[in-house]
Amino acid sequence: MHFASDNTAGVAPQVMAALQAANEGHVPSYGADALSEAVRAKIRDLFEAPEAAVYLVATGTAANALSCALLSDPWSAIFCHRHAHIQEDECGAPEFFADGAKLVLLEGAHGKIDPELMRPVIAHAGGAIHHVQRGMLSITNATEAGTVYTPEEVRVLTGIAREYDLPVHMDGARFANALAATGATPAEMTWKSGVDVLSFGGTKNGCMGVEAVVIFDPARAHEFELRRKRAGHLFSKNRFLAAQMLGYLAGGLWMGLARHANAMAARLSDGIATVPGAELLHPTEANAVFARFPRRVHRSLRDAGAQYYLWPFEQSLDGDDDELLAARLVCSWATTEEEVGEFLSHLA
Amino acid sequence: MHFASDNTAGVAPQVMAALQAANEGHVPSYGADALSEAVRAKIRDLFEAPEAAVYLVATGTAANALSCALLSDPWSAIFCHRHAHIQEDECGAPEFFADGAKLVLLEGAHGKIDPELMRPVIAHAGGAIHHVQRGMLSITNATEAGTVYTPEEVRVLTGIAREYDLPVHMDGARFANALAATGATPAEMTWKSGVDVLSFGGTKNGCMGVEAVVIFDPARAHEFELRRKRAGHLFSKNRFLAAQMLGYLAGGLWMGLARHANAMAARLSDGIATVPGAELLHPTEANAVFARFPRRVHRSLRDAGAQYYLWPFEQSLDGDDDELLAARLVCSWATTEEEVGEFLSHLA
Amino acid sequence: MHFASDNTAGVAPQVMAALQAANEGHVPSYGADALSEAVRAKIRDLFEAPEAAVYLVATGTAANALSCALLSDPWSAIFCHRHAHIQEDECGAPEFFADGAKLVLLEGAHGKIDPELMRPVIAHAGGAIHHVQRGMLSITNATEAGTVYTPEEVRVLTGIAREYDLPVHMDGARFANALAATGATPAEMTWKSGVDVLSFGGTKNGCMGVEAVVIFDPARAHEFELRRKRAGHLFSKNRFLAAQMLGYLAGGLWMGLARHANAMAARLSDGIATVPGAELLHPTEANAVFARFPRRVHRSLRDAGAQYYLWPFEQSLDGDDDELLAARLVCSWATTEEEVGEFLSHLA
Amino acid sequence: MHFASDNTAGVAPQVMAALQAANEGHVPSYGADALSEAVRAKIRDLFEAPEAAVYLVATGTAANALSCALLSDPWSAIFCHRHAHIQEDECGAPEFFADGAKLVLLEGAHGKIDPELMRPVIAHAGGAIHHVQRGMLSITNATEAGTVYTPEEVRVLTGIAREYDLPVHMDGARFANALAATGATPAEMTWKSGVDVLSFGGTKNGCMGVEAVVIFDPARAHEFELRRKRAGHLFSKNRFLAAQMLGYLAGGLWMGLARHANAMAARLSDGIATVPGAELLHPTEANAVFARFPRRVHRSLRDAGAQYYLWPFEQSLDGDDDELLAARLVCSWATTEEEVGEFLSHLA
């Protein structure tokens, strides 16, 4: 019963096969090879963005931090949700890459930025040179709380950002899950809704380690190349990043994997909802479930081999039997119906 | 005839097989898996350094820049050869990771630091707070010029560094080639010769993208972990970095691949030495050959399909037929005797 | 009626006289002169801290940002109040000087950190390498809201910080006002209450531009000197910073000036409290008064020549006559009873 | 006999008087006062640059490092002379302010960049993203060697920079001495010769601590304001920086002081040239003299109370009596003919 994270799973067989196939002979390094060119073309096509610049890196933190650095200045306020990955889980990478920019936190239920709460924060920011200046907005979709923004909801946020001339980044570490949840196309969820730069995740959804940074305004491309190299994120054997992403996108594999992960989470969530004494913290819209139940139930699940994190992390299994503790349960492309069923039967 | 770089080659079959084998089931992420533990133990054993801290990253620039940041302060002078990779080919990554430290350049023939020229530079540096302070020494082995330091030569340099309490980093992107050239053990070439931190390369010698940072003083380990995460170089699916390195080290594969690359370079070098009008720039001690011959010969080699860089890069095939231009010819684990023979026959 | 800020006032005559007197002949530069030595001795004596390291800079932002950089790492969380000057009014200087550290915001009424709200924030921070690590605490005294921490209140905050091994900085841009309000000695308010580094302000209280950074643990002194030089904050003609501070401290001038400023604020505050329809936002404990009254009253005060800021800044004099708007009214060493009386008569 | 530096002297009486006069009543802070406006107008007029942006800071390192940060990117090569102040005497401030840019060193006799040696260095730099990119050129006038560039010489250097689209900074910590030496106007020495940003020094030539940054292209002004604030170099009581500079410029005082300093250096240099066994290292064109004579002569000069530095610093008075050691002898606005005469008589 593996629900600790979607990054404990391995690599989808088709992606591994693509890596194998890419291992033929000598090719130019640093992205000048045919596979690297093919993945750029494929992603431009997928996003209906023939002008977009596309770069591959190996980690989501690299994709996010490089994107934030690209869209901000060192004296910028980077607006994001209080629980965004760039704020909570990257050890200050955005501040490092953006040479000391300041993350300014936005509120909203279920991990989603509330536009009504966002507007006054942005309005108050900036102004005189004594303050950090309005820089950019970063939106996470799917969110850290397992919820999803629809394109309409994205447009509301980017519309406010536009009023202040703020470029917008989307952290799409779980972009496929967001598309699977909404039925939106890649273009609808991004540039058609006002997103300027996307971190397009592959790692959590069946790749070994690859994320694409999609920059819809190619004028920013050269600076990105310099930032990527300078940060040690340009691969000499770039063909193997390209091969992963091509295998991931071929034949819609990526969407199939995401639909599966979301379906497993829905099944898990629905099951939990029927258990007396268990309650959901957030609507389950993507591949993560957040639910609260008594500590003794957590103990018995752990004893039965269920792997997941208490939420927030610092909570303990030691203490009052009946106290309600939250769990974060993450499904992936590799989660099985059996695992879900076993978990639910233990829970009941 | 592929002599452009050792990173145009693919992945050694044994390394690819190890990647395949690692793709089984769910394992903990971020290096808490069994393969990651195994590679740490393997490298500690290999270096006779049971206390060493070992971390994996995917690029040589990351390994070098993180190591320099670990061993320096923002106001440090980082002493290195004028043609070191960290100075010439990383787009300022060491300055970025080390928060603005200054690289202070050392001289020496054939890409090797001359101790007699190094001493006065270090002696003059530092002192009053008006100047950057003496920080660290970085040595590249094998060098960018295809030459190699013996352990004795390393000890001379680290001995001078020690007089000034400077820690020492070794850029071992081609560490295996240096060992193959000298017959030294990993321990003899590093901590037994005064090296504190090693960038232990795998990518150029048959891996897909993996370098180990070996920190012989484990007191520095926690800071390294924070710097690696903060720079986006901690892989969630770390098992696949570990698997590459384990496959690379298993059964001495890594040394066999390096011996082959060195042997191909020696054969190429010996052949060139016999060609009238061609001359070697540097002794050929590792897997790279630097040779000078007339521009018209370069043209005919290019016409025949030979791939390599003019050296320095900015030279051109256009111009006086008889002008001597230098070529950088790099052999790898995948270079064949046929390629070498074909090149030499065209050259002659 | 000058209540815009305590930095619109000039320089106290005694401080200007000290500058004049310092302008005799040639003296060593960069702080090796007799006046610089004298001010170090004077401040050590004043703080009963014979070991303390003392450095002069010309601005409060420099003093604060250098102090934060000294006490933190680039991956640190710097805990401070949501309305601290380092968070709101320094354009990201702490993030710049601390190479990208993250300010983590604490809550509390009237500009003061609430210990009960602080504890869980610090407890939740840090932990795994995915998160920024607990770094330091910064306390502002007197606060941006015109309130003051007693030594006992400081000890409660530093005591919690100590539980987590966090060093503590005090932003004392208005340190004299805090001492005047509490009757505490410099030592009681700082190292005896757990403060490690103090920004000891002079500029706002009658100097031209000088702040002392008092580092109670001299082990940190050399790093501070390097950071100050590297940031361009080491003066060649340091004698003129020293002379200001010596003139400021001579004969208790500094405390007299602060007592006057506090008394003027108290008089202003008491007067406002008696005006129907006017109300105080915060207790008036130092030299700033925050009060709310109708927009039309603001208009008539402005027409009468009263100078002050609406609070928060972005509010406007245009709008509903009866809407209550807040004003920030700052008194200084140069504020006169006449100004206060005139303001109150207009208000009434 | 004070020849240690031009910053051991005090403040010119007229500048001190201007400080006094500025200390009247309340004025707006942060540069919104009348004196700050007046100094901006005065400098624009002086430089025949009605559009120029003018900002005041208190130290030369701040002026230089902020200017370099303004004209470069973090991945830039900043080209400067090997012995430029920004390279040797600012503890890495340019690298800090420019977020890790790399200083690339140029050669040339007597502290002046040789255009023929500069061109190939710039030509070789930049190119592929593996390398730092060509960023800017910084020229020091008067130089650290006491020599001076004529406007014609400046134009040759800026002309080459223009071929590569590089903006040009001039470190004018001793700008007045350079004008006094050449007879050039401020405009001829700067924007008319291709300089984009000037550090216009006041401190070394009779001010207390003030330098003007003159930005000839006002489009860069707002970014400079943010960088200045963020670096803690915006003074709240800016009127006192303005007053110094206004007093310095009033009635041509600044040029008179510089002519005096240059004249004293010329007298000292001429005298040394006549002493058997003494020799000049560099032509004496501004206010510093570099001369070599036997160690025993240094000893007797020191015994007689002469204050100056051996050059380079790390040399010692202990050793062979007859060994020739170099001295750096700096004259200032406050140097007297008597001091010069006394020095020469001891030397003879």
Give C252's pLDDT tier (boundaries 50, 70, 90).
very high
pLDDT (0 to 100) of residue B313: 80
How big is the A-D interface in CB pairs under 8 Å? 25
Q: How far C112 CA sits from the closest chain A CA (Å)?
A: 21
Residue A32: is the preceding peptide bond cis (ω within 30°)?
Answer: no
pLDDT (0 to 100) of residue D130: 95
Question: Are A293 and A275 within 8 A, CB to CB?
Answer: yes
Secondary structure of A9-30 in the HEC alphabet?
A: CCCCHHHHHHHHHCCCCCCCCC
Angle at A27 between CA B39 and CA B338, to 5 degrees: 95
Angle at D159 between CA D156 and CA D160, to 5 degrees: 95
Region A287-307: mean pLDDT is: 96
Question: Starting at the edge strand that comes first in sequence, how are the strands of the sheet with C197-201 ordered?
Answer: C53-57, C211-215, C197-201, C168-172, C133-140, C76-81, C102-106
Pairing assessment for the beta strands B197-201 and C288-294 based on DSSP bridges: unpaired
Does the pLDDT at position C266 exceed 80?
yes
Q: How far D68 CA sits from the closest chain A CA (Å)?
A: 15
User: Which residues, 6 or more positions from D237, have their beta carbon under 8 angstroms from its beta carbon?
Assistant: C7, C10, C11, C203, C208, C209, D29
CA distances, A191 to each of A49, A176, A187, A217, D294 (Å): 8, 16, 6, 10, 74
pLDDT (0 to 100) of residue B89: 96
Region D256-261: mean pLDDT is: 98
Residue C312: is the preceding peptide bond cis (ω within 30°)?
Answer: yes
For A195, list phi and psi in degrees, rounded to 5: -85, 130
Contact state of B129 with C74 under an 8 Å Cβ cutoff: no
Contact state of B131 with D91 under an 8 Å Cβ cutoff: yes
Per-residue tokens: D141: 């006038």
Question: Starting at the edge strand that comes first in sequence, how are the strands of the sheet with D168-172 ordered?
Answer: D53-57, D211-215, D197-201, D168-172, D133-140, D76-81, D102-106
pLDDT (0 to 100) of residue C126: 82
CA distances, D146 to each of A129, D156, D181, D187, D195 (Å): 38, 20, 11, 21, 20
Interface membership of A316 toward C (CB under 8 Å): no
Q: How far apart are CA C224 and CA B343, in angstroms?
A: 59
Region A178-190: mean pLDDT is: 98
Question: Are B236 and B29 within 8 A, CB to CB?
Answer: yes
Region A219-230: mean pLDDT is: 97
Interface membership of A232 toward D (CB under 8 Å): no
| Amino acid (1-letter code) at residue B176 | A
CA distances, D291 to each of C163, D311, D314, D338, D347 (Å): 60, 9, 16, 19, 11
Q: How far apart are CA A229 and CA A221, in angstroms?
A: 13
Question: Are B237 and B156 within 8 A, CB to CB?
Answer: no
Pairing assessment for the beta strands A133-140 and A76-81 based on DSSP bridges: parallel
Contact state of D102 with B99 under an 8 Å Cβ cutoff: no
Q: How far D29 CA sits from the closest chain A CA (Å)?
A: 12
pLDDT (0 to 100) of residue A315: 85
Per-residue tokens: D161: 């920079």
Question: Are C243 and C21 within 8 A, CB to CB?
Answer: yes
Q: Which residue has the tokens 């060697």?
A: D145
DSSP, res D321: T
Length of chain D: 348
Per-residue tokens: A293: 């139940």
Interface membership of C314 toward A (CB under 8 Å): yes
Any alpha helices (H) in chain D, and if so which ranges?
13-22, 34-46, 60-71, 85-88, 93-97, 115-124, 151-163, 175-182, 186-189, 221-230, 239-249, 253-273, 295-303, 337-347
Chain C residues touching B225 at Cβ < 8 A: 129
Write out pLDDT tens, residues D23-80.
Answer: 999 999 999 999 999 999 999 999 999 999 999 999 999 999 999 999 999 999 999 9
pLDDT (0 to 100) of residue C75: 98
Q: Which helix (H) or strand (E) holds D324?
A: strand D324-330
Interface membership of B75 toward C (CB under 8 Å): yes
ipTM over 0.95: yes
Region A17-21: mean pLDDT is: 98
pLDDT (0 to 100) of residue C278: 94
Residue B27: CB atoms within 10 Å: 20
Q: At what angle do helices C115-124 and C151-163 cross, to 10 degrees?
A: 20
Give C197's pLDDT tier (boundaries 50, 70, 90).
very high
Does the pLDDT at position A126 exceed 90?
no
Q: How far B35 CA sits from the closest chain D CA (Å)?
A: 33
Contact state of B74 with D89 under an 8 Å Cβ cutoff: no
- Of the candidates D257, D287, D221, the one whose C-alpha atom is nearest the C-alpha of residue D44 is D221
Does the pLDDT at position C86 exceed 90?
yes
Contact state of C314 with A124 under an 8 Å Cβ cutoff: yes
Question: Are D17 and D215 within 8 A, CB to CB?
Answer: no
Write out pLDDT tens, residues B177-193.
Answer: 999 999 999 999 999 99
What percent of chain D is predicted at pLDDT more than 90? 97
- Of the candidates A73, A67, A92, the one whose C-alpha atom is nearest the C-alpha of residue D226 is A73
Contact state of D61 with C232 under an 8 Å Cβ cutoff: yes
Q: What topology is assigned to D12-252 in CATH?
A: Aspartate Aminotransferase; domain 2 (3.40.640)
Chain D residues touching A225 at Cβ < 8 A: 129
Enumerate neighbours of C (3 or more CB pairs within 8 A). Answer: A, B, D
- Of the candidates C181, C16, C53, the one whose C-alpha atom is nearest the C-alpha of residue C112 is C181
Region C214-228: mean pLDDT is: 96
CB interface of C with D, residues 289-308, below 8 Å:
307
Secondary structure of D246-293 in the HEC alphabet?
A: HHHHHHHHHHHHHHHHHHHHHHHHHHHHCCCCCEECCCCCCCEEEEEE
Contact state of D92 with B312 under an 8 Å Cβ cutoff: no
Give C27's pLDDT tier (boundaries 50, 70, 90).
very high
For C227, list phi and psi in degrees, rounded to 5: -65, -40
Does the pLDDT at position A314 exceed 80?
no
Interface membership of A240 toward B (CB under 8 Å): yes
pLDDT (0 to 100) of residue B251: 98
CA distances, D58 to each of A232, C166, C210, D284 (Å): 38, 33, 12, 28
Mean pLDDT, rounded, of chain C: 97
Domain with CATH 3.90.1150.10 in chain C: 254-347
pLDDT (0 to 100) of residue D269: 98
Does the pLDDT at position A313 exceed 90?
no
Question: Are D20 and D345 within 8 A, CB to CB?
Answer: no
For A135, list phi and psi in degrees, rounded to 5: -115, -60
For D162, list phi and psi in degrees, rounded to 5: -60, -35
Query: E strands of A53-180, at which residues?
Result: 53-57, 76-81, 102-106, 133-140, 168-172
Residue A72: CB atoms within 10 Å: 26
Question: Are B35 and B239 within 8 A, CB to CB?
Answer: yes
> Which of helix, strand or coil describes residue C336?
coil
Q: How far apart are CA B325 and CA B332, in angstroms?
A: 23
Question: Are A290 and A265 within 8 A, CB to CB?
Answer: no
pLDDT (0 to 100) of residue C290: 98
Write out pLDDT tens, residues D70-119.
Answer: 999 999 999 999 999 999 999 999 999 999 999 999 999 999 999 999 99
Chain D residues touching A130 at Cβ < 8 A: 229
Q: How far D212 CA sits from the closest chain A CA (Å)?
A: 19
pLDDT (0 to 100) of residue D346: 93
CATH class of the region D254-347 = alpha beta
Interface membership of B59 toward C (CB under 8 Å): no
Chain C residues touching D59 at Cβ < 8 A: 232-236
Does the pLDDT at position C314 exceed 80?
no
Does the pLDDT at position C127 exceed 90?
no
Question: Are A261 and A332 within 8 A, CB to CB?
Answer: yes
pLDDT (0 to 100) of residue B207: 98
Per-residue tokens: C233: 């904050």
Interface membership of A27 toward B (CB under 8 Å): yes
Residues D141-152 as b or e (16 or more Cβ within 10 Å = b): bbbbbbbbbbbe
Length of chain C: 348
Question: Are C258 and C180 within 8 A, CB to CB?
Answer: yes
Domain with CATH 3.40.640.10 in chain B: 12-252
Write out pLDDT tens, residues A45-67.
Answer: 999 999 999 999 999 999 999 99
Distance of CA C70 to the CA centre of its chain: 18
Residue D322: CB atoms within 10 Å: 10
CA distances, B106 to each of A90, A227, B97, D119 (Å): 36, 27, 21, 22
Question: Are D335 and D204 within 8 A, CB to CB?
Answer: no
pLDDT (0 to 100) of residue A113: 98
For D150, list phi and psi in degrees, rounded to 5: -80, 160
Chain A residues touching D229 at Cβ < 8 A: 129-130
Chain A residues touching B85 at Cβ < 8 A: none
Per-residue tokens: C115: 């210990």
pTM: 0.97
Question: Starting at the edge strand that comes first in sequence, how are the strands of the sheet with B279-280 ordered?
Answer: B279-280, B288-294, B324-330, B309-311
What percent of chain A is predicted at pLDDT more than 70? 100
For B215, list phi and psi in degrees, rounded to 5: -110, 110
pLDDT (0 to 100) of residue D315: 85
Write out pLDDT tens, residues C136-188.
Answer: 999 999 999 999 999 999 999 999 999 999 999 999 999 999 999 999 999 99
Region D145-164: mean pLDDT is: 98
| Amino acid (1-letter code) at residue C202 | G
User: Which residues, 6 or more positions from A326, have their beta carbon under 8 angstroms from its beta carbon?
Assistant: A281, A290, A291, A292, A310, A311, A312, A315
Residue C21: is the preceding peptide bond cis (ω within 30°)?
Answer: no
Tens-of-pLDDT digits for all 348 residues of chain B?
999 999 999 999 999 999 999 999 999 999 999 999 999 999 999 999 999 999 999 999 999 999 999 999 999 999 999 999 999 999 999 999 999 999 999 999 999 999 999 999 999 998 899 999 999 999 999 999 999 999 999 999 999 999 999 999 999 999 999 999 999 999 999 999 999 999 999 999 999 999 999 999 999 999 999 999 999 999 999 999 999 999 999 999 999 999 999 999 999 999 999 999 899 999 999 999 999 999 999 999 999 999 999 998 878 899 999 999 999 999 999 999 999 999 999 998
Interface membership of B313 toward A (CB under 8 Å): no
